[in-house]
A and B are shown apart, each in its own frame.
Chain A
Amino acid sequence: MVFCVTCLFLKRQRTAFSSFSRLLPSIVRGQLILWSGSHSLLGDKSGLNPNCFALKMARSPLILVALICLVPLVCHSFSPESPTGRRILVLVDDLAIKSSHSLYFKSLSSRGYELDFKLADDPKIALQRYGQYLYDGLVLFCPTVERFGGSIDQASILDFVDTGHDLIIAADVQSSDLIREIATECGADFDEDPVAMVIDHVNYANPENEGDHTMIASDNFIKSDIILGSAKIEAPVLFQGIGHSLNPANSLVFKVLSASPAAYSANPKAKLSNPPALSGSDISLVSVMQARNNARILICGSLSMFSNRLFRSEVQKARSSTRLEKSGNEQFLTEISKWVFHERGHLKAVNVRHHKSGDEDEPAVYRIKDDLEYSVEIYEWSGISWEPYVADDVQVQFFMMSPYVLKTLSSNGKGVYSTTFKVPDVYGVFQFKVEYEKLGYTTLSLSKQIPVRPFRHNEYERFITAAYPYYGAAFSMMAGFFLFSFTHLYNK
């Protein structure tokens, strides 16, 4: 019901009518079916959630429709105007994870996300219904799931990402092939041995209980303020799980937390018989991928990294005497979740304008050797609102098969980037191209086509400077002829 009223609100008349007509028989019968009742209508701000009340009386539907029309339909779901989605589906193996990882989930819900916890093999879970996605983000904390329940499977998860939604995958020891395959599709190849863990005999944590050195303390972070936040993470991050490697040919995926050069991936309980397949800094513990449609995926090899136990634990690296009271896990994972859910580093470029210097309106055609100005406005999403983006490396190309002009745009501090240049001496159909790819930011790929014509017949310069001697010669010949004719005539 809410769905069709929202459709009307969003002016999609046909979908509204078709969904309303589907519900009409049940309204006439005076009964509506209750879906998952974890949300109440008054607290539910997302217009596309098809939760409805259970009604037993025939007169209530009309009152309900009237009430729904009064509810402000502020749509908080993923849309170009507000890139941070609000509804996140969390699939877990065991509902105890809800309490054992509660600090992490609290950090998400305190920023306004609605978390929907479901068992991974629950037969009623679905990512989309009637072609609309029910959630804006997916968190897979289910490393041992063999088959998802309901209508979720590997293909539907990849479609979810392909339509621009974000994903967090946490694997662990004994993770299933399904999770490994999903991670491989996203660019991270976990170690094939199912019992292998990352072992580091140099950087293990908590040296007083030696153990098998699978709990490692790592501080090989990626150097990026936009992904990890501007505050430096003082404490190392505790990790206990499996490692993965990244395909070097994949340019979209990168390591956020990598293992030290002394780490390797092997079965901790068995003797090492062959050299390990993954070793050293090639092992990535946490990596991140930004797809070409700007969907962000976080792949982590340890589910226990997110747990309350490791969030609160003290950390001391072996061979180091400093003992820090709190590990860097909470800060690291909170900041990186902010990045994954588009609270940071999400850019939009609007209002591309170009015109001749001096004019204000956009011409349909430029002439060679014109002076033109190009401007674009770029904003960055701060989690709540669009702020002007300030940088000094946005460039525009005047492109026809290859860039004829490449200029760095200068910013005025309020998000307006502009530059002026002269159209080159070549005619044809050009494009204004802005291709901005910076680590951690969404890719901006703008292109606007404009033709460039040669000079018209009367636009050439009237007298060519190089030809002045020839003009002078011709005129001097005329003058000489004039004088000579007189001297010849009057010469005795």
Chain B
Amino acid sequence: MVRSTGDDVLALFHSLRSAYAATPKNLKIIDLYVAFAVSTALIQVVYMAMVGSFPFNSFLSGVLSCVGTAVLAVCLRIQVNKENKEFKDLPPERAYADFILCNLVLHLVIMNFLG
């Protein structure tokens, strides 16, 4: 029998969901944090599209803070993930310390550029 693409998508979706349920809790928290950052960035882009880019520096600063936060959180997740072979020897405290310091630098730059 011919399986339609709709059935394929549904099957894919279900398998993703079940695989994701198996991830550890701290990684899920990081994923939630990343989703928050990206959604805030999207809201700002939609707002700029409606209102215009008048204080462009403020727009860039807002979007960059969201994107930078997301990038740093993703880096933390990669380094903390125990299934990742590449970072097997990296202590998770080191990853966390890097995350904190980079975020501090990011927010310093954002505050300056916000105007």
Which chain B positions have C-beta within 8 A of A488?
Answer: 26, 29-30, 76, 96
Residues of A within 8 A of B33 (CB): 480, 484
CA distance A473 to B59 in the complex (A): 10
Interface string of B89-105 (1 = CB under 8 A from A): 00000001001100100
| Contact B36–A480 (Cβ < 8 Å) | yes
Residues in B whose Cβ lies below 8 Å from that of A481: 69, 103, 107
Contact B58 A480 (CB under 8 A): no
- The smallest C-beta distance from A71 to any residue of chain B, in angstroms, reads 76
Contacts of A466 in B (CB 8 A): 51-52, 54-55
Chain A positions within 8 Å of B54 at CB level: 464, 466-467
Q: Does A470 contact B (CB under 8 A)?
A: yes
Closest to A482 in B: B103
- A471 interface neighbour in B37, B43, B58, Cβ under 8 Å: B58
**A473 and B29 contact, Cβ closer than 8 Å, known pairs A480-B37, A485-B100:** no
On whether the beta carbons of A477 and B66 are closer than 8 Å, the reply is: yes
Residues 53-69 of B, flagged 1 when their CB comes within 8 A of A and 0 if not, give: 01100110111011001
Contact residues on B (Cβ < 8 Å of other chain), bracket: 35 or more
Report A-chain residues with C-beta under 8 Å of the C-beta of B62: 469-471, 473-474
A484 to chain B, nearest CB (A): 5
User: A474 with B43: in contact, given A481-B69, A488-B30 (CB under 8 Å)?
Assistant: no
User: When A and B form their complex, what is the total count of cross-chain residue pairs whose Cβ atoms lie within 8 Å?
Assistant: 77
**What DSSP secondary structure best describes chain A's contact surface?**
helix
> Across the two chains, which residue of chain A brings its CB closest to B46?
A469
Closest to A472 in B: B62
Chain A positions 460-492 with a Cβ under 8 Å from a chain B Cβ: 464, 466-467, 469-471, 473-474, 476-478, 480-481, 484-485, 487-489, 491
List residues of chain B with CB within 8 A of the CB of A470: 44, 55, 58-59, 61-63, 114
Q: Once the chains bind, are A473 and B44 in contact (CB under 8 Å)?
A: yes
Closest to A489 in B: B96
Cβ-neighbour of B114 out of A474, A476, A485 (below 8 A): A474
B6 within 8 A of A: no
Within the assembled complex, what's the spacing in Å between the Cα atoms of A148 and B97? Answer: 110
Q: Give the chain B neighbours of A469 by CB distance below 8 A.
A: 43-44, 47, 62
A474-B111, A489-B96, A491-B26 known; A464 vs B36 contact (CB < 8 Å): no
Known A464-B58, A491-B25, A491-B29; contact A477-B65, beta-carbon cutoff 8 A: yes
Across the interface, which residues of A come within 8 angstroms of B47, CB to CB?
A: 469
B81 an interface residue at 8 Å Cβ cutoff? Answer: no
CA distance A276 to B54 in the complex (A): 72
Q: Find chain A residues with CB under 8 A from B36 CB.
A: 480
Inter-chain CA distance A484–B33, complex, in Å, is 7
A residues sitting closer than 8 Å to B (CB atoms) are 464, 466-467, 469-471, 473-474, 476-478, 480-481, 484-485, 487-489, 491
The 6 closest A-B pairs by CB, nearest first: A470-B62, A467-B58, A473-B62, A470-B58, A467-B55, A477-B65
Given contacts A469-B44, A474-B61, 19 further A-B contacts (CB under 8 A): A464-B58, A464-B115, A467-B115, A470-B61, A470-B62, A473-B41, A473-B44, A474-B107, A474-B110, A477-B37, A477-B65, A477-B66, A477-B107, A480-B37, A481-B107, A484-B73, A485-B100, A488-B26, A491-B25
